[in-house]
A = this chain, B = another copy of it.
Amino acid sequence: MFRVNENYQKLPGSYLFSTIGKKVAAYQNANPEKQIIRLGIGDVTQPIAPVIVEAMHKAVDEMGNAATFHGYAPDLGYEFLRNAIAKNDYAARGCDISADEIFVSDGAKSDSGNIQEIFAPDNKIAVCDPVYPVYVDSNVMAGRTGIYDAQTGMWSNVIYMPCTKENNFVPEFPKKVPDMIYLCLPNNPTGTTITKAQLQEWVDYANKNGSVIIYDAAYEAYITEDDVAHSIYECEGAKTCAIELKSFSKNAGFTGVRLGYTVVPKDLKCGDVSLHGMWARRHGTKFNGAPYIQQRAGEAVYTEAGKAQLREQIDYYMRNAKAIKEGLADAGFEVFGGVNAPYIWLKTPDQMTSWEFFDYLLEKANVVGTPGSGFGPSGEGYFRLTAFGSYENTVAALERIRHL
């Protein structure tokens, strides 16, 4: 008799955003007349920029013509896109990353879930707390996290690095050295970040201790402050200790288009074993390339017109972030983030738990946010709002919250 991967049974409940979706759907069904405003899941609302739409139309036409049809893409991505990434995201920032160290994928969620596969099952992981759930859940599925304690919401074999207002949301070096360190900066969910000098300390720590950093740079396009790194490879020595994950979802609105990439530098090794070669093998075996149409869309992101149009989108969302942050502060909330990231992290009022505040906000203001505790135990008592709504909805939501 076949048997199943028992680690799946250890996962408590369902994926955070599925739970929220179900709760909201149930409320809407019971109250069909209510106009719900969603500032919960980090999904964008602005349409795809004109220059990217144009690039996709062109690619679709190419696919419909025998002379310009594209079948299987190169496993690791088309040269035109990898070159554009290397030039714009790395060379332009002084980072020495070559095109063949870039692996194009169908999105950063897949990559951030799959990357743990190339590591040993007994590696110990460290995560910021709160944290994007995929890092932990994908390691649970791989049997790397030990036993779950429902009381504390913690796994016995995961090192948690609390990020709270007490430490200004800067993770501290763990006492026991982790093998794999997940860092998402600017941070989801807190919307906060650390300086480049602080990131350099993490790179030094990893190199000194033989840890690997899985660096999620999904939100780098929202950075406004000069002393914040856009890529971990801006730090000296990062190529021997860090993998960088990058999404097109937040800088170009590709949540429904699907495109991402991962950088695995050739200098990153475990003894003689090149992680670059391992990830290439994984890509070649379990993935068949990102679609041609999407890769042309990605290329358009880096054109001059693309950069200008996307700058407008990001400015649009950051205007929302400012409105939320200031509006909530005016209403007496304690708020964080929103300066280098499209997320605002607030302290729940009156000692409410995160889920209590979720229900309260849904029922009283018909506004959906994300409970901080869904991101980890140190998220309890916090709540996330995103700047990805329309400006009108964002202002309307704030108006409702102000009148609670």
A interface residues (Cβ-Cβ under 8 A, vs B): 1-6, 8-9, 11, 14-15, 18, 41, 43-50, 52-53, 56-57, 60-61, 63-66, 69-73, 75, 106-107, 109-110, 113-114, 117-123, 133-134, 137-138, 141, 179-180, 209-212, 253, 255-258, 270, 273, 275, 278, 281-282, 284-294, 390
Contact = CB atoms under 8 A, between A and B. Distances in A.
Q: Shortest 7 CB-CB distances between A and B: which pairs?
A: A113-B286, A1-B210, A53-B64, A3-B120, A2-B179, A43-B71, A109-B288
A4 B120 contact: yes
A117 B107 CA distance: 20
12 contacts: A2-B270, A4-B273, A9-B273, A11-B281, A45-B69, A47-B63, A47-B65, A106-B106, A110-B286, A117-B141, A138-B286, A256-B289
Contacts of A278: 4-5, 8
A141 B278 CA distance: 10
B270 A71 contact: no
A6 to B, nearest CB: 7
A168 to B, nearest CB: 28
Nearest to A286: B113
Contacts of A212: 2
Contact of A71 (B2, B14, B44, B49): B44
Given A120-B6, A278-B5, A114 B286 contact: yes
A44 B141 CA distance: 36
Contact of A256 (B9, B43, B48, B71): B71
A273 to B, nearest CB: 5
Contact of A270 (B4, B118, B286): B4
Nearest to A143: B121
B256 A63 contact: yes
A12 to B, nearest CB: 12
B4 A275 contact: yes
Contacts of A293: 56, 257, 293
Contacts of A121: 5
